[in-house]
Amino acid sequence: MRRNFDRRDFLRLTGAAAALAAAGCATTSQKARVVVIGGGFGGATAAKYIRLWDPAIEVVMVERADIFTSCPISNLVLGGSKTMEDLRHSYDGLRRHGVQVVNDEATAVDAEKKVVKLERGGDLKYDRLIVSPGIDFMFNEIAGYDAAMQTSRVVHAWKAGAQTIALQKQLAAMTDGGVFVLSVPLAPYRCPPGPYERACQVASFLKKNKPRSKVLILDANPDVTSKGPLFKKAWADLYPGMIEFRGNAKAIGVDVKTSTVKLEVEDVRGDVLNVIPPHRAGDIAVKAGLITANNRWCGVDWRTMESTAVKGIHVLGDATLSAPLMPKSGSMANQHAKICAAAVVALVNGQAPNPEPKIANTCYSYVSADEAIHVASVHTWDDKDRTLKTVPGAGGVSSARSTLEGGYAWAWAVNVWQDSLG
Ligand SMILES: Cc1cc2nc3c(=O)[nH]c(=O)nc-3n(C[C@H](O)[C@H](O)[C@H](O)COP(=O)(O)OP(=O)(O)OC[C@H]3O[C@@H](n4cnc5c(N)ncnc54)[C@H](O)[C@@H]3O)c2cc1C
């Protein structure tokens, strides 16, 4: 949520970005200036690690929100076991590392002049640019979505924040016996297991508070896209008769008047309509000319995270054209950021980046307030196919859900917030 530009912002901007922008280049004691767009899992981690690994590099991070709000754990706010406060983290940790945090919107990138334009004015010159804007939604793929959004009756809550609160309120207001419709887009989308975790959390809330109600998952994919058998067992054991899954059920429209989600073959009525539209890389990636695949995603060289479309610009996180079997996750964005930070530090210092990076992903999902399951994978550079590929036999899924994993899941969240922002 944006807030008004105030005196503190002005001082911060004049003290940090604008004064340096006026100088037009890095100050003499600095080796280079790196500008980062986006203070989510990718951008915040890259900003912090560049400062940690070479404090002589100046890092300016542009983020439209004045506080970080985590999507991981946000489904638990719907379940009722966590609050919005649990998701929010300040950017002060980054400031302590010397990152200059500019609370503004990046509106354009001039890759030739190496300049980022800001909404409130003031251009930021860079030597290298890192773009980690997350996703934006392709609302036009679902007829009626724009109009439905105006009424606030249909939300996605797929960027944690105001819509998470709105969805929680709709859930709390739903009559007992009502139907919560959760529409899942075709993969690839942000956080493959996220929708199924959400189904569990909504069902957990309903079981306690409105036990005659149902969760209906309308999935554009043929089957559950992640941890399928574990989710299905949790649904059957913990919420018998409450969660119905329909595959190949792609939403093509929504209508608030009839309170329906339109599929190719039928209209499905629900009391709460939680429709997640298909996504693409965030708008600024489009404006910067970084999109290389399907009008949606940004191709990168996985050894440096440098864009394959525009030299000198690195792209991280959900905005990237994922490597084979690589999920769009906070865990991955945090790891992309470390490949990128190491490569940027090497390049600025005239060294060769690591030619064979290896990264790992773990995604936990809470199936109740305290039990969780996980999926893990390891990704390594493959010189023949010039991409990151999963290491056979490394990783896998939980053998069963457990409260022990519930503890690990919370520890994962606390650690990744600390690693990215602390
Ligand atoms: C319900 C849900 C549950 C999830 N659970 C998990 C989980 O358990 N584990 C996991 O690993 N992942 C999880 N994820 C996925 C995870 O949230 C994303 O993969 C991750 O946030 C991607 O990081 P990112 O840096 O690419 O984007 P983001 O974290 O979205 O960060 C992008 C940032 O850029 C800013 N921004 C964008 N454009 C501009 C601009 N022009 N100017 C200024 N600022 C800009 C945005 O405000 C935002 O802060 C979940 C997602 C959802 C929706």
Give tens-digit pLDDT for 372-399.
Answer: 999 999 999 999 999 999 999 999 999 9
Calpha distance 139→147 (Å, rounded): 10
State in Å: Cα 73 to ligand 1 middle. Answer: 12
Torsion of the alpha carbons at 308, 309, 310 and 314, rounded to the nearest 10: -40
Percent of the chain with pLDDT over 90: 92
Residue to substitute in 190, 201, 322, 414 for testing ligand 1 pocket (most ligand atoms within 8 angstroms of CB): 190
**Closest-lying ligand 1 atom to the alpha carbon of residue 331:** 11
For residue 89, the tally of other CB atoms under 10 A from its CB is 17
328 lines ligand 1 (CB under 6 A): yes
Calpha distance 316→311 (Å, rounded): 15
- What are 218's strand-pairing partners? 183, 246
209's torsion region: left (phi>0), alpha (psi -120 to 50) or beta? alpha
State in Å: Cα 317 to ligand 1 middle. Answer: 8
Residue 29: its pLDDT value, please? Answer: 63
Q: Parallel, antiparallel, or unpaired: how do β-strands 154-155 and 272-275 relate?
A: parallel
How does residue 184 score in pLDDT terms, banded at 50, 70 and 90?
very high
State in Å: Cα 110 to ligand 1 middle. Answer: 24
**Closest-lying ligand 1 atom to the alpha carbon of residue 158:** 53
Q: Which residues contact 34 (CB under 8 A, 6 or more apart)?
A: 47, 50, 57, 58, 59, 60, 126, 127, 128, 129, 130, 344, 348
190 lines ligand 1 (CB under 6 A): yes
> C-alpha angle with apex 355: 322 to 25, nearest 5 degrees?
85
Burial class (CB in 10 A: 0-12, 13-18, 19+), 225: buried
47 lines ligand 1 (CB under 6 A): no
Query: For residue 346, what are its two tokens?
Result: 């090497």
Calpha distance 411→417 (Å, rounded): 10
Among protein residues, the one with the nearest Cα to ligand 1's atom 16 is: 330
Chain position carrying tokens 């190491």: 342
Q: Parallel, antiparallel, or unpaired: how do β-strands 306-307 and 243-246 relate?
A: unpaired
Examine the pLDDT at 1 and tell me if it is beyond 70.
Answer: no
> Which DSSP state fits 100?
E
Among protein residues, the one with the nearest Cα to ligand 1's atom 34 is: 38
341 lines ligand 1 (CB under 6 A): no
CB 362 within 8 A of CB 376: yes
Of 109, 93, 139, the C-alpha closest to 291 is 109
pLDDT in tens, 220-269: 999 999 999 999 999 999 999 999 999 999 999 999 999 999 999 999 99
Of 398, 399, 377, the C-alpha closest to 388 is 377
Examine the pLDDT at 113 and tell me if it is beyond 90.
Answer: yes
Burial class (CB in 10 A: 0-12, 13-18, 19+), 380: middle
Of 322, 317, 368, the C-alpha closest to 159 is 317
270 lines ligand 1 (CB under 6 A): no
pTM recorded for the entire structure? 0.94
Residue to substitute in 314, 329, 365 for testing ligand 1 pocket (most ligand atoms within 8 angstroms of CB): 329
Of 379, 389, 342, 311, the C-alpha closest to 127 is 311
Percent of the chain with pLDDT over 70: 93
How does residue 84 score in pLDDT terms, banded at 50, 70 and 90?
very high
Examine the pLDDT at 188 and tell me if it is beyond 70.
Answer: yes
State in Å: Cα 42 to ligand 1 middle. Answer: 8
75 lines ligand 1 (CB under 6 A): yes
Residue 121: its pLDDT value, please? Answer: 86
State in Å: Cα 228 to ligand 1 middle. Answer: 23
